[in-house]
Structure 1
Amino acid sequence: MEPPKFFFQEKYAKLGVRGNFMPLAAQPKNVELGDWLAHQAFEQFGNIENLVACISERDDKTGMPLCNPRGCPTMSAGRSHIYTWLNSNREPVKVPAYQYIGLVRRWIQGKLSDTRVFPTQPLKDSGAIYGSENVTDNIITMNSTGPTTPNGTGSALASRNWIGRSAGFPENFFTDIKTIFRQIFRIYAHIYHSHWVDPFWHITGSNPPSSGWTDLNSCFVHFITVAKLFGLLSEKDLEPMQPLIDIWVGNGSIPPDAAIGASAVTVLQ
Structure 2
Amino acid sequence: MSFFNSIGRSMSRNPRPQKRSPTPTSADMPPPPSPVSPPASKPLYLCSPFVEAALVKGNFKTIVVLPKYVDIMEWVAVNVFDFYTNLNEFYGVISECCTQHSCPTMSAGTGLSYTWINQDRKSVNLPAPTYIDYVMTWVQNLLDDENVFPTKSGHDFPQSFPSTIKHVYRQLLRVFAHIYHAHYPQLLHLRSEPHFNSLFAHFLAFGREYELLDLKDVKGAANAPVGIGALWDKWKEMGILEG
Q: Please classify the TM superposition score into its range, dividing by the shorter chain length.
A: 0.7 to 0.9
Indicate if the aligned counterparts of 2:56 and 2:198 stay in contact, CA closer than 8 A. no
1:134 is matched with none
Distance in structure 2 (CA, Å) of the matches to 1:22 and 1:78 = 27
Pick from 53, 78, 91 the counterpart of residue 52 of structure 1: 91
1:53-94 CA distance string (max 9 Å, x none): 1222xxxxxxxx200011100011022321111112111100
Deviations 1:134-160 (A, max 9, x none): xxxxxxxxxxxxxxxxxxxxxxxxxxx
Cα deviation, 1:200-232, whole Å, max 9, x if unaligned, reads 1111xxxxxxx2222211111111111111121
Q: TM-score, normalised by structure 1?
A: 0.69
Aligned position for 1:94: 125
Gap regions ≥5 residues in structure 1: 57-64, 124-166, 204-210, 261-269
Distance 1:117 1:18, change over 3 A: closer
Counterpart of 2:61 in structure 1 is 22
What is the identity, as a one-letter code, of the residue corresponding to 2:235?
W
Q: Does 1:79 pair with 2:124? A: no
Instruction: Quote the residue 2:233 is aligned against.
Output: 246
Give the Cα–Cα distance (whole angstroms) in 1 for the partners of residues 56 and 216 of structure 2: 29
Report what 1:219 is aligned to: 199
Aligned partners of 1:9 and 1:244 also within 8 Å:
no
Once residues 243 and 10 of structure 1 are traced to their aligned partners in structure 2, the CA distance between those partners, rounded to angstroms, is 14
Which structure 2 segments of 5+ residues have no match? Answer: 1-39, 220-225
Instruction: Check the 8 A contact 2:117/2:124 in 1, yes or no.
Output: yes
Query: Are the structure 2 counterparts of residues 3 and 249 from structure 1 closer, same or farther at C-alpha, using a change threshold of 3 Å?
Result: closer
Match of residue 179, structure 1, among 167, 177, 181: 167
Q: Within 2, Cα distance between the matches of 1:100 and 1:33?
A: 30
Q: C-alpha separation between the residues in 2 aligned to 1:85 and 1:94?
A: 6
Cα distance in 2 for partners of 1:180, 1:171 equals: 16
Looking at CA atoms only, which structure, 1 or 2, has the larger radius of gyration? Answer: 1
Q: AA paired with 1:116?
A: N
Structure 2: distance between partners of 1:121 and 1:10: 47
Q: Tell me, yes or no, if the aligned pair for 2:116 and 2:126 is still in contact at 8 Å.
A: yes
In the alignment, what sits opposite 1:200?
187
The answer to whether the 8 Å contact 1:10/1:247 transfers is no
TM-score of the two chains, using structure 2 as the length reference? 0.76
Cα offset, 1:18, TM superposition: 3.4
CA distance in 1, matches of 2:130, 2:171: 13
Query: Does 225-234 or 6-15 show the bigger shift?
Result: 6-15
Identity among equivalent positions (%) equals: 33
Contact 1:182 1:237 in 2 (8 A): yes
Counterpart of 2:97 in 1: which secondary structure? coil
Q: Cα distance, 1:19 vs. partner?
A: 2.3
1:202 & 1:13 partners in 2: Cα distance? 15
* SS of match in other structure, 1:77: strand
CA RMSD in angstroms, aligned pairs only? 1.6
With CA pairs under 8 Å and 6+ residues apart, which has the higher RCO, 1 or 2? 2
Match of 2:76 among 33, 37, 46: 37
Question: In the TM superposition, what is the alpha-carbon distance from 1:10 to its structure 2 partner?
Answer: 4.9
Match of 1:91, as an amino acid? K
Letter in 2 for 1:251: M
Partner of 2:100: 69
Letter in 1 for 2:78: H
The alpha-carbon distance between structure 1 residues 85 and 31, as it changes in their structure 2 partners (threshold 3 A), is same
What amino acid is the match of 1:29?
A: K
Cα distance between partner residues in 2 of 1:55 and 1:24: 28
Residue 3 of structure 1: how far off its partner (Å): 4.7
Question: Residues of 2 paired with 1:80 and 1:180: CA distance?
Answer: 24
Q: How many residues align?
A: 196
- On the 8 A contact 2:207/2:213 being kept in 1, the answer is yes
Give SS of 1:196's match.
helix
Going from structure 1 to structure 2, the CA distance change for 1:3 and 1:19 (only over 3 Å counts) comes to closer
